Amino acid sequence: MSRGPGFRWRKRGLLFDPGSVSGRPWLREFAQAPATLVFDSFVRVYFSCRPPADANGQYVSRSAFVDLDRKDLFRVLRVAERPILELGGLGTFDEFGTYPVSVARDGGEIAAYYGGWTRCESVPFNVAIGCARSRDGGETFEKLGPGPVLPYSPGEPFVLSGPKLRRFGGEWQLFYIAGCKWKTVAGRAEPVYKIRMARSDDGVHWSRLDRDLIESRIEPDEAQASPDVIRLEGRYHMFFCYRWSADYRNRERGYRIGYAASDDLVTWTRDDARAGIDVSAEGWDSQMVSYPHVFELDGRVLMLYLGNEVGRHGFGLAELEAA
Amino acid sequence: MRWTRLGKIFDPADHRLPNGCSEFAQSPQALVFPDFVRIYFSTRARDQGGQWRSHVAFVDMERDLSRILRVSERAVIELGGLGAFDEHGIFPINVLRHEGRVRAYTCGWNRRVSVPVDTAIGLAWSDDGGLTFRKHGAGPVLGPSLHEPFLVGDPFVIVHEGRFHMWYIFGTSWKRPAPDAPPERTYKIGHASSPDGIAWRKEEGRRVVEDRLNADESQALPTVLRIGMRWHMLFCFRESFDFRRNRDRGYRIGYAWSDDARRWTRDDDAAGIDVAPSGWDSEMLCYPHLFECDGNVYLLYNGNEFGRHGFGAAVLA
């Protein structure tokens, strides 16, 4: 698996469609950035969703979960009755969205890291990373405080988002993205962001690596997101997504899934050709594939990912056939 | 403390300042040179959208503040780029010399949508003796954190026994005085320390100075000076609502003392300075800055309209 020609994924189709859910006005569209927590009889998939846009066409992101039958992931057992996180108060970093969310068990509790969204004047938004904990098995989360746990810093000046919480070797790791510039494209400010990493002994105080983990491939301003790390057969594997920085809302320049490998979590060798998953000829994932999350379940290696319009119509499932 | 007022010593309208600034000389802060005292301040220019942006300038004065020698001819520090924490202004700036090098801690402003602004604290270095500064990264060294969620600003830094100490402010709430009124901020004074002045450890919401007016009292711009064995802090404070034009609710200068630079006892009566019966500092007193020069202790401060018409000084009697 680690040194072979590459991964081969068999696509199993759209797994969860937010349009199938009713009675939740805050969950109208989108099921973005899936992240799993495996329970005895079900797999809980956290995702982020949106109520309809406001009068100005602006969205607020909320986060929720869906429980899928562990024996048949296509069977939805339950959808969260309410968002798992409250929005922040007036002027706080997460007043306008909590997206995306990554979770991990920590003793009897569940830790969550999430992107908190605020709105700015000269650029549309800023994002910093918040932390929350659940004491009810992951149904609701209480924030550690009203501010972020990983804020803007000299080398990571804005747009800190997409946290993925991991624990390898007794230490916590947080993989995330950080903005390095805002580009003005056709009168619109577009952020360029790269994959970063921080480490912690206690899960609260973080030490940043303070450099890009993954070299840019398609252009220097390539935007990278969703750094999802899994350890398989003694090696670390990162699946992530990347796109062009401008004019990317189309099939040619939109998100694709990339891949990198590492032996030490810090030094990564990018090799997108080994990712083994691309857009389909037609259907829900024919324009883009993005926001991968890879996890093991009952001897299988599975990937959840987003398709067209960055998950407006939900997320799909792929299963590793060979590597 | 007993002060002798020296009056208004700088009026921005009398000078040609960089960036086309002509009004405001806010938060004066001193750096003492062998032949003069450089006083940094924030002045303002309208941007393309007609909104104010604060820019840093300085004036060099005789060491006894009796005469103006020159003003800065070019921008002291550039504002941040698109989306940066200091894109829309730098106010105030705190400058110090450490191991022969001049460094500045800045309070950067960026505009928000649901509230007018947020702020964070940046670091910058000067390689030309304080004429110009370049930034230590595009982002802040001290920004929001778990229990200090916004409006981290107004840094004042000293080095004591090999350790950096910063007194600064952090926001505690945004509230609307009425349902249709714009939100107003409340902030308090905090403390952080650092081995190098770059990586800081906050005390996460610990308030250094107790409230005197009420829970909505806003406290700003701490300045600290050790005289003998005792630490003295001046700061300014005000009501959080209706403070701009109402003389009774606007900024005044408060005072606290400490023997360990950690536990502070507030005693505003000992500040020794209040609004004047008439003149440029008769409505409010704000943005105090303490420094020593030639055996004297000076206080720089702003008066009415938050320093729109300049700043003044007083000397400790």
pLDDT in tens, A64-103: 999 999 999 999 999 999 999 999 999 999 999 999 999 9
Strand-pair category, A142-143 with A125-134: antiparallel
d(CA B105, CA B117): 19
Q: What is the pLDDT of residue A1?
A: 47
Q: Between chain A and chain B, how many beta carbons pairs sit less than 8 Å apart?
A: 128
**CA–CA gap between residue B17 and residue B221 (Å, rounded):** 24
Q: What is the pLDDT of residues B6-57, one digit of tens each?
A: 999 999 999 999 988 889 999 999 999 999 999 999 999 999 999 999 999 9
pLDDT per residue as tens digits for the range B81-92: 999 999 999 999
- Cβ of A153 within 8 Å of Cβ of B141? The answer is yes
Per the structure, how many domains does chain B have? 1
Q: With contact defined as beta carbons under 8 Å apart, do B254 and B209 qualify?
A: yes
Query: Taking the CB of residue A54, how many other CB atoms lie within 10 A of it?
Result: 9
Burial class (CB in 10 A: 0-12, 13-18, 19+), B135: buried
pLDDT band at A203 (very low <50, low <70, confident <90, very high): confident
In what order do the strands lie in the sheet containing A42-50? A29-38, A42-50, A62-69, A72-79
Cβ-Cβ contacts under 8 Å, A131 against chain B: 146
Contact B143 A189 (CB under 8 A): no
AA letter at A235: R
Nearest chain B residue to A157, by CA: B139
Q: How far apart are the first and last CA of chain B?
A: 8
> Which residues does chain A have within 8 Å of residue B185's beta carbon, measured at their own beta carbons?
91
CATH number (domain holding residue B127): 2.115.10.20
B11-15, long-range: CB < 8 A, 24+ apart: B11/B309, B11/B310, B12/B43, B12/B309, B12/B310, B13/B309, B13/B310, B15/B59, B15/B71
Q: Look at B114 and A95 and tell me if their CB atoms are within 8 Å.
A: yes
Secondary structure, 3-state, A67-81: EEECCEEEEEEEECC
State mean pLDDT over A285-304: 97
Task: Measure CB to CB from residue B139 to each of A93, A120, A152 and give the nearest one.
Answer: A152
Residues A271-293: pLDDT tens digits? 999 999 999 999 999 999 999 99
Q: Cβ contacts (< 8 Å) between B114 and chain A: which residues? A: 90-91, 95-96, 118-119
Interface test with chain A among B51, B82, B185, by most A beta carbons within 10 Å: B82
Identify the band that residue A2 occupies on the pLDDT scale cut at 50, 70 and 90: very low
Domain that holds residue B40: 3-316
Measure A54 CA to nearest chain B CA, in Å: 14
Q: What is the pLDDT of residue A4?
A: 63
CA dihedral for B33, B35, B37, B40, sign (positive or negative): negative
Interface test with B, best of A94, A144, A153 (most B CBs within 10 A): A153
State yes or no: pLDDT of B252 exceeds 70.
yes
Tell if the CB–CB gap between A90 and B115 is shorter than 8 Å.
yes
Residues 6+ apart with CB under 8 A from B269: B255
Structure pTM?
0.96
Q: Which residue matches tokens 């009004």?
A: B23
Return d(Cα A197, Cα A176) in angstroms, integer.
Answer: 6
Q: What is the mean pLDDT of chain A?
A: 95
- Exposure class string for A185-211: b at 16+ Cβ within 10 A, else e: eeeeebbbbbbbbbebeebeebebeee
Q: CB–CB of B83 and A123 under 8 A?
A: yes
Closest Cβ opposite residue A119 in set B85, B113, B171: B113
Domains of chain A: 8-322 (2.115.10.20)
- Contact (CB<8Å) B147/A147: yes
Using a CB–CB cut-off of 8 Å, the residues of B that contact A are 80-85, 87-88, 110-115, 118, 120, 122-123, 135-141, 143-151, 171, 174-175, 183, 185, 198, 204
